[in-house]
Amino acid sequence: DIQMTQSPSLLSASVGDRVTLNCKASQNIYKNLAWYQQKLGEAPKLLIYNANSLQTGIPSRFSGSGSGTDFTLTISSLQPEDVATYFCQQYYSGSTFGAGTKLELK
Amino acid sequence: EVQLVESGGGLVQPGRSLKLSCAASGFTFSSFPMAWVRQAPKKGLEWVASISSGGGGTYYPDSVKGRFTISRDNAKSTLYLQMDSLRSEDTASYYCARSIYYYSSYLDYWGQGVMVTVSS
């Protein structure tokens, strides 16, 4: 099985900060990676698919990059409503999710 | 607007069965593969079942294979998850989600989730 490792597990940042979340796959998954946002008590929401494609309706301050084994999700200017846990998911072989990065306001 | 609404969760004893439903609307249900994903309390996400758009293909990870059965009724735009021989480790929120591809795919719409608690 492909393992997904997210870092950091907890990230504190201020409104307006540029924030970078990391996701590493245990083997090459090419660009078969998605990012989801999950706010407290809510269902996950798709942000990014195919590593760098922005889902319809998602603000442009969110962007994804990477290929192979190393991927990043960047929020260009953190907003209060971005407080959430972010999960990456590989879908190159079956599907596995990372453990998540909890993003909080400093 | 795409909507997915799960139902059927609750408290069940170990070894018993439970069937979840997911009512879909706002899109052509029969055109999309679907999936169930679960999340144990304060834990990460685990894919537990997939089904092709026509229902002829299904996929399960080893953790639930032989105990869970995914099915769909395209005429009713409804997805199901039959869960048998339930264990305490099956306690989780269960989400139905629309899948772009069958089996290995990202999930573009999710329901609000339904809680399943397995306990005596």
Contacts of B109 in chain A (CB under 8 A): 46
Task: Give the pLDDT of residue A77.
Answer: 98
What is the Cα–Cα distance from A32 to B33, expressed in whole angstroms?
17
Q: What does DSSP say about strands B10-12 and B114-118: parallel, antiparallel, or unpaired? A: parallel
Alpha carbon of A90: minimum distance to chain B alpha carbons (Å): 8
Task: Give the pLDDT of residue A41.
Answer: 87
- pLDDT tens digits, one per residue of A2-47: 999 999 999 999 999 999 999 999 999 999 999 999 999 888 999 9
The low-confidence residues of chain B, meaning pLDDT below 50, are: none
| Bridge partners of residue B97, in order along the sequence | B35, B110
- Best of A4, A95, A96, A97 to disrupt the B interface by mutation (most B CBs within 10 Å)? A95
Task: Give the pLDDT of residue B30.
Answer: 97
Identify the DSSP state of B103.
S
What is the Cα–Cα distance from A30 to B19, expressed in whole angstroms?
37
Alpha carbon of B111: minimum distance to chain A alpha carbons (Å): 7
Q: Please report where in the chains the tokens 């769909």 appear, as a residue.
A: B72
3-state secondary structure of B90: helix
Alpha carbon of B54: minimum distance to chain A alpha carbons (Å): 19
Task: Give the pLDDT of residue B90.
Answer: 97
Nearest to B107 among A46, A50, A92 (CB): A46
Instruction: For Cα atoms B97, B98, B101, give the angle at the middle one, nearest 5 degrees.
Output: 125
Identify the DSSP state of A50.
T
What is the Cα–Cα distance from B28 to B38, expressed in whole angstroms?
24
- pLDDT tens digits, one per residue of A65-105: 999 999 999 999 999 999 999 999 999 999 999 999 999 99
